[in-house]
Amino acid sequence: MALFMLVTLTYVCYAYATTLPGPALRHAFRDRGSEVPSLGVSRVVQESWSMYSPYFPAGSYLPPPAGCQIDQVHILQRHGARFPTSGAGKRIKTAVSKLQSASNLTDPLLFFLKNFTYTLGHDDLVPFGAAQSFQSAEVAFERYSSLLTDGVEPFVRASSSQRVVDSATNWTAGFAAASNNRFKPVLSVILSEAGNDTLDDAMCPSAGSSDAQTDEWLAVFAPPMTARLNAGAPGANLTDTDTYNLLSLCAFETIAAESRSPWCAVYEALGGAPAFTYSGDLDKFYGTGYGQPLGRVQGVGYINELLARLTDTAVRDGTQTNRTLDADPATFPLGRALYADFSHDNELVAIFAALGLFRQKEPLDPARADPARTWRTVRLVPFSGRMVVERLACEGGGGSVRVFVNDALMPLEFCGARGNGVCALDAFVRSQAYARNDGEGDFEKCFE
């Protein structure tokens, strides 16, 4: 019965998703397959939106080194661009209402508010976000379709949030379209966020948040901005938190409308870019990244699933995995050439930290942004951001591994890669001792 319900849900979502992509939704991108959005806002500004930035390649994809061939691929992808969450949307509407209730708008920067209406939805994908997943599948097909044979499709899973499910089914539709329907992958498994789920970060109730660090940074950058807004809207009585929420409208409205929002003039005039960028860096670093003591343990379950697939062996994990699904070849098959999993930004960050990617020499300072930092959220988890793990068969025997995050080749120094980002598969497996040991006691701390 449970399996029947799973198949039915997959069918309904797939039918819905296939109506989303198409020429009308591709116009936001400059070229088919390029994934470079043109939204009427400069790339510099778009990349300053941190976790609300659209996907940009962070590097140039490189073919395997001489003597190596790809024989298996694992894609872990964040959902596409969305509306604000319901909570963020309420806070944004409150801040806008305060400005519009001012007795008189005296700053020309705010005059547009006389005719402004907040119309954004909440939580769901915007059309641009649907197109992102469709287009990312076109890129995946171009790179990896040679691994597939008729009758053996990519295996696709998603966490159960609707925007994640829709991203997965838009990806399957994009892959089918790119193949001229030779391949018709479907979303085979939806992991409930109410249960064990390696594609969501909801299984560590004792984990802290990044509020203390982001609030400290807010107190550094926001007061002059808030003062200017209040001066231009007497009686609005905006708080610094209101200012942050108003800054986010540059991203959310531009992505939803696929054209420059009037809030971007406010964003730029207030100098919002560097402040907003670093707020996102702090949020992810101290949320589920290296700065959160129980952050990276939330990525352990996925890594153990990845190791199982890479080595064609049963999953060994005592953390977030759904043991029933992972023990069933129908819901966790081994030996496939291409896997695609769809998730959230916070979970991807936890996985990156558990793997050992994007290490910082020092923790991020909540009072001062280090321009030399390696931890930049826009390079980790923009909308539709993804990690790709390639298993290679190289001359001389033995498997190898390399990892890309948003097309940037990861150095994998922790498993002995030398320049070309390639390390032996067995060395990669050994390097993941933290995951293989179920978080070395951290998972138990999630429930203390």
The set of catalytic residues is: 79
Structure tokens at 21: 């992509």
Residues 6+ apart with CB under 8 A from 180: none
H helices present in 113-161, as ranges: 127-144
Check if the beta carbon of residue 385 is closer than 8 Å to that of residue 345: yes
304 DSSP assignment: H
Measured in whole angstroms, how far is the alpha carbon of residue 42 from the centre of its chain? Answer: 21
Structure tokens at 344: 């959230």
Check if the beta carbon of residue 155 is closer than 8 Å to that of residue 192: no
- What's the farthest any 2 CA atoms get from each other in the chain? 76
Structure tokens at 390: 């390639």
Residue whose entry in the numeric block shows the structure tokens 């020499």: 361
The β-bridge relationship of strands 68-78 and 423-424 is unpaired
**In degrees rounded to 5, what are phi and psi of residue 343?**
-150, -160
Half-sphere exposure of 241 (CA within 13 A, CB side): 9
DSSP result, 376-444: -HHHH--BT-EEEEEEEEETTSSEEEEEEETTEEP--GGGT--SSS-EEHHHHHHHTHHHHTTTTTHHH
**In degrees rounded to 5, what are phi and psi of residue 405?**
-120, 115
Residues 6+ apart with CB under 8 A from 264: 41, 45, 250, 254
Residue whose entry in the numeric block shows the structure tokens 């138990």: 444
Structure tokens at 116: 């402004």
Q: What is the helix, strand, coil percentage profile of the chain, to 5? A: 45, 10, 40
Q: Which residues pair with 88 in a beta bridge?
A: none
